[in-house]
Amino acid sequence: MSVEVERKFLCNAGTMKTLEEFGVCVGQQQFRDQYFDTEKFELTLRDMWLRTRKGCWELKCPTLTVNETEETTGEQSRAAALCSHYKEITSLPEIQQRVKEVIKDVCVDGETELAPSQEDESWHSKLNLVCFAAFTTERRSFTLEEEGVRIDLDQADFGYHVGEIEVLIPEGGDLQCAQEKIRNAAQKLGLSEDERVEGKMNVYLRRYQPEHYAKLLSKHIL
Ligand code: V4E
């Protein structure tokens, strides 16, 4: 299981020029994401993001990493504040187990039997999970080899463009080192030190699901 450490940014002509000069383009793809939650938003209110992408289930959830309590300089903590980090789970049995743990109360006697087969497409309906967001993304990906980061430039079909600098680390891996790599890459791209940029989901929910958005905002999830 890996942890994705990332910083979002807005890409302008200057950033693009630097990326074309120093980055290596590693591919281009299109995918459709569908995000699921209960009617009461029991997953997202815990900052858990369940989706299907290219026919596979994925769950992003918060993680505590070992060096979060380590001493940091002001500069390091400012850079860290611009980054987020989430555990990425792609094993369907594990996703089902975690989701069931959260929404036990909607299951009969605390137990809803799910078929062990990964082909059981109806498992999410049995847990009363419904799709609350769906959008298609065109993505171009680059690497900055010297900094050891990957950069994705996303264009969502609802008209929002956003970039992300990301580093994958193993669970319990060196978060500070990943944040440092992201900070170096951000400097190379000429990004401002104090700009926290919205992800696709923020913009999508604010536009199309304002009640859900307001709830997440009030609980400081977004
Ligand atoms: C974790 C999360 C959400 C799930 C989608 O995560 P995101 O990184 O935005 O997905 P995507 O498609 O851009 O990248 P990929 O998964 O392919 O690497 S939706 C909201 N969150 C929480 C969150 C947050 N609190 N702050 C920021 C800046 N981003 C996401």
Which residue, by CA, sits nearest to atom 19 of ligand 1? Answer: 201
199 lines ligand 1 (CB under 6 A): yes
pLDDT, averaged in runs of 10, over the chain (222 residues)? 94 90 94 97 96 96 67 70 93 94 66 56 88 98 93 97 96 92 93 85 97 96 94
201 lines ligand 1 (CB under 6 A): yes
Ligand 1 centroid – CA 60 distance (Å): 8
Global confidence as pTM = 0.89
The ligand 1 atom nearest the CA atom of 4: 18
Give the residue among 165, 195, 176 at the shortest CA–CA distance from 7: 165
Domain with 89, as residue range(s), is 2-218
Which residue, by CA, sits nearest to atom 2 of ligand 1? Answer: 49
**Max Cα distance, the chain (Å):** 59
Which residue, by CA, sits nearest to atom 7 of ligand 1? Answer: 199
Q: Any idea which residue has 């769950």 for tokens?
A: 59
Number of domains in the chain: 1
Identify the pLDDT of residue 132.
98
Give the residue among 135, 110, 115 at the shortest CA–CA distance from 52: 135
Instruction: Give the CATH number for residue 127.
Output: 2.40.320.10
49 lines ligand 1 (CB under 6 A): yes
- Kindly state the DSSP code that residue 105 receives in the 8-state scheme: G
